[in-house]
Structure 1
């Protein structure tokens, strides 16, 4: 698209070389997609030229193999095979693809860990806030609770009322949180690798954790509301 915008690249001829003396003419026989050359978090891939090994080779050669064995066990097997074929060939830097990916992202681990710590603190603050709101609601409506219980309301009805209040707070917070997560994902897409803008599994896990934490925070004030003594509550100013 860049060099032949008005026609296909197949069959075209290109030069490869630093100057006219050592330049070689190659015919394009195939087109592949762009690849990420420097790091996995590149916003978009870069172009690459694949040449025949016999015409263009360097000192180092990288070989990618696929195996069902453990990488450590396969490394020794590969060394033996190469040594049997040519004892003079040296094999170095044998690593699994997972290891290479992890090493390429090592500079981003600290920010990710810091973000995880902040997320944990935010979760704790959300639980404390939910508990505080419901505890305050129980304290403010202590007289109302006493009147309702004096008129025959069951303790489970009182508890369900405040539990319902907590669930409404949870629902509102979850909706706003999902919207915020989607917006943050779009803003950070350029620095993420192999992560979609809206990762459903992560959002569901987060929502489940928030639900569990919020339910625990709701149960204590709701239980406290069911323990209100109607006589004491009715005497309160």
Structure 2
């Protein structure tokens, strides 16, 4: 497997990037690689069960995406609130960074804030004048390649149907196509992995080995671990 980033370049016409999901989650197209014949088949996601074996166990990520995207009251600064550190103190990403240098101020919901600290990776620690829930009126942090602003429909469709534990900054996208009907037919367990801010950061290094990966928090229950240990084949539904 190559570690050279350029080996993974391929042409992707912008017109082929969907701006909205299909009305039915399981109507999405699914590409199937038949390893024995090295052929590719195009199916719909609702056909997933056809390609599973008896004894297979699906492992899914039940993280829930936070409504972490906010704008300053003057709409001049975009914030992605990563974590609440304590009363009225938050860690966040900002854009543009030049507007939120050390001690710089802004307002959200008419609540003043200022930059206490700038971390080495560019994240900001901000202190607010009041202890407010910044997620209460936030929006979904859609990936940049979607190319549109989020709207109320994304509050549902940018979550999996099994999203449960709040903490992610992006959806575990491989899970977005599942429906409750599909899950009812396939043995599965849940783990929790909160997708972090690194998913929004570009890779600047020439090789994958040189890219500094961010850390993400996860949890696996004893019950889920036991089922995974006893499964004949584990089918991981990636993030």
Q: TM-score, normalised by structure 1?
A: 0.19
By relative contact order (CA 8 Å, sep 6+), the higher-ranking structure is 2
Compare the two structures and name the one with the higher helix fraction: 1
Which structure has the larger Rg over C-alpha atoms?
1
Q: TM-score, normalised by structure 2?
A: 0.19
Compare the two structures and name the one with the higher strand fraction: 2
